[in-house]
Structure 1
């Protein structure tokens, strides 16, 4: 009888695991989607990921993966390469300045097994300080089963702990910020925001149908996987998606097939933030374009353009 260590090599399965959760700044292993990385050239990399067929927050309705699952994978990709490839120490803070993506809805269809994703990354505009990068741009082609799934660009800066404390001017205590955040206001109806669960809605109603207060629930298990001292970028992207859905209520499944977002400042947990949306001219009947802005303390925190595509009739339900 063969022991475990005596089996022929042909019987040994190929083993796959996720990258260390610390590399992607996640507390829960279940929220780590990246599975590995390799250097393919000067400042070029191949990063692999696996998307689950179902997720508690990045829901997969109507047979398609949620594009914000792509955004979370991009966020993790930037962090992984920053730490593992560019040797930036833990404790440095990464902050987005812009994010752009465009997805192919057909390539987002859910299969019978989890989706194996390849991200081909090219890093440009790298600025170094004392041998460590403090800013860069990543251009990413996302491939699934040899087909182009998405193209994306993320630009971000990185701050040493002392620099970040000065930048945040007394607001860098993550645990204290979350503990002192006000109780979230009542949400808009889930179907208005394009969500199934009330707990996942990040917009609260106002007297203006096209203006909402950002709803920040620091107890949300995915958006607040761990304490942070400001509103997470993924929550801001979710507000863009939900505002775009509320702006174009179609009764079907509206999917944010593209976003172009510029981040201007941190959104604070203890101050009201207002989300405003405006419809823009669209070129196709199934695609609706929206401009979404966030205002806090009288200034624009971010500005975004998103294209919402009705996928109800084009993808299997």
Structure 2
């Protein structure tokens, strides 16, 4: 006959929680979307995630989840596995070099409960120094309810605190730099950016039609969940999305960035303006989809370059 403690263990249902926030470099528990991980092969893993039906910044549109929520999930996946599967010490800096994704917009539909995702990850080009990973590429297939939601890849480099401090040459004090950042300039209109809230707009108008100043609000509760010493990659991806929308604001907010390919060439700093330029690219896609090229320039050099495919969801 089972004792009471043993019976309690058998009857207790399986419980789900998020991974520790420290593993994904987040301060707020509400911004952690990953729920677990396991090894599935040589340099292969399965990571689980859950998306809320609504979010304060990754705002659902056209009854579908925001693709930037996918990007944040990818970002967290890279950090989680770096720390847990490859023993990267906490406190090391992880810097993106390239992010790519392509998604199925129909699989982004919001259901009657939070979306449960499985991310099948394969790591390649893993480089280490004294058994600590210094760089790698992660290839990801995101599956939802047995259907492929997206394919993605991220390439990144890891820096120890000492190496990062030398690399940043006096710019590694995140709290000081965040607090001393200039006030953000006035934003473009909500209709141009395709965002409902002024605070979420990351572009500011200039005298040139398809050129904007990057708008950096270091008090933003999601983009700056904690102090940073440079403009975060997620803000730059949001700039790509908003620039793509700004080329055709007449769509009324129905445009979704169904794919992106972004290369990060240097850190974007707080103390100098970063200019965002966009142009439509003739790609023969036609119909509801069009390709857009977006560049970010700071100090006369390309800080990031990107292409994105904007899909008119009213026609899908």
TM-score bucket of the superposed structures, by smaller chain: over 0.9
TM-score (norm 2): 0.96
Runs of 4+ in 1 over 4 A off after TM superposition: 4-11
Deviation at 1:308, TM superposition (A): 0.5
Q: How big is the alpha-carbon RMSD for the aligned residues of Structure 1 and Structure 2?
A: 1.4
Report what 1:142 is aligned to: 142
Partner in structure 2 of residue 86 of structure 1: 86
Q: Secondary structure at the match of 1:230?
A: coil
User: Using the alignment, how far apart are the partners of 1:172 and 1:50 within structure 2?
Assistant: 32
Q: For structure 1, which segment, 248-257 or 38-47, has the greater mean C-alpha deviation from structure 2 after superposition? A: 248-257
SS of residue matched to 2:190: coil
- Say whether the 8 Å CA contact 1:252–1:312 is kept in structure 2: no
2:164 matches 1:164: yes
Pair 1:260-2:298 in alignment = no
Q: Which residue of 2 aligns with 1:309?
A: 311
Aligned to 1:290: 292
Task: Give me the whole-angstrom Cα distance separating, in 1, the residues matched to 2:38 and 2:279.
Answer: 42
CA 1:85–1:192: 2 relative to 1, 3 Å? same
Residues 1-317 of structure 1: pairs in structure 2 closer than 5 A: 12-249=12-249, 250-282=251-283, 283-314=285-316
Aligned residue for 1:277, secondary structure, equals: strand
Contact 2:195–2:253, Cα closer than 8 Å, also in 1: no
Unaligned runs of 5+ in 2: none
User: 1:312 offset after TM fit, Å?
Assistant: 2.4
Kept after mapping to 2: 8 A contact 1:230/1:269: yes
The count of residues paired between Structure 1 and Structure 2 equals 311
Q: Is contact 2:288–2:315 with CA below 8 Å preserved after alignment?
A: no
Unaligned stretches of 5+ residues in structure 1 = none
Is the Cα contact below 8 Å between 2:244 and 2:292 reproduced in 1?
Answer: yes
